[in-house]
């Protein structure tokens, strides 16, 4: 119908990212004001404010079970939050997400610079793999809800899909004339 059910207000700066909880009616928003907020879509109200980053939040995502949210910030940290309490559980330095696996965008220096994504175990901090192949900066990365695939978006105008277990590229999606800034 195109009807607006709720308008959420509360951030003091632009909202730059959002994520729907796969297991509930919660919506998370990340803002240039350094906070993330949890909103109840059915009630139309704020549930929690997640404060702790010292710079803008530029990425966030719920885990597959919906009980944790991960926020990435320009302060070069990623925080893991408990959705039920809104409390920070852990800070991961310079990393990004999924259950026990975290992805980090990183410029890999070699004979010619190429952009890659680093996969880490979020519990042990162990490096798991490097996903390479893009010709320019990786702008976004996400896991599917089952944790079986990883998608990347790049300034080179392509997206790639990797098998999360084998770490192999299973699809290269091309056709955009300019950068791809988000992938889901």
Nearest to 64 by CA among 94, 108, 101, 92: 101
- Rounded CA-CA distance 159/157 in Å is 7
User: Taking 50 as the threshold, does the pLDDT of residue 107 lie above it?
Assistant: no
Spell out the domains of the chain, with CATH numbers in brackets.
Answer: 1-92 (2.40.10), 96-183 (2.40.10)
- DSSP readout, 112-171? S-EEEEEEEETTT--EEEEEEEESS-EEEEEE-TTSSEEEEEETTS-EEEEETTT--EEE
- Rounded CA-CA distance 130/108 in Å is 9
58 against 176, higher pLDDT: 176
pTM > 0.75: yes or no:
no
**What phi and psi values does residue 58 have, to the nearest 5 degrees?**
-115, -10
- What pLDDT, in 10s, does the model give residues 4-36? 888 999 999 999 889 999 889 999 999 999 999
The residues, any chain, with a CB within 8 Å of residue 134's CB and separated by 6 or more, are: 114, 115, 116, 152, 154, 155, 156, 158, 160
| Three-state DSSP class for residue 33 | coil
Alpha carbon distances (Å) from 39 to 84, 105, 117, 172: 12, 28, 30, 35
- What pLDDT, in 10s, does the model give residues 120-159? 776 677 788 899 889 888 888 888 878 899 999 998 999 9
């Amino acid at each position: 119908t195109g009807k607006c059910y709720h308008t959420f207000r509360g951030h003091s700066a632009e909202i730059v990212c959002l994520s729907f909880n796969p297991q509930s009616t919660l919506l998370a928003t990340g803002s240039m004001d350094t906070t993330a907020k949890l909103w109840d879509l059915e009630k139309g109200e704020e549930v929690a404010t997640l404060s702790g980053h010292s710079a803008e939040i530029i990425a966030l995502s719920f885990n597959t079970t919906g009980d944790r949210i991960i926020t990435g910030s320009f302060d070069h940290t990623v925080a893991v939050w408990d959705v039920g309490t809104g409390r920070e559980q852990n800070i991961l330095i310079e990393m990004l997400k999924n259950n026990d696996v975290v992805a980090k965008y990183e410029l890999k220096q070699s004979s010619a610079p190429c952009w890659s994504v680093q996969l880490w175990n979020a519990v042990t901090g162990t490096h798991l793999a490097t996903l390479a192949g893009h010709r320019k900066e990786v702008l976004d990365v996400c896991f599917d809800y089952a944790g079986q695939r990883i998608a990347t978006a790049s300034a080179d105008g392509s997206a790639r899909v990797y098998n999360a277990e084998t770490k192999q590229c299973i699809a290269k999606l091309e056709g955009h004339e300019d950068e791809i800034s988000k992938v889901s």
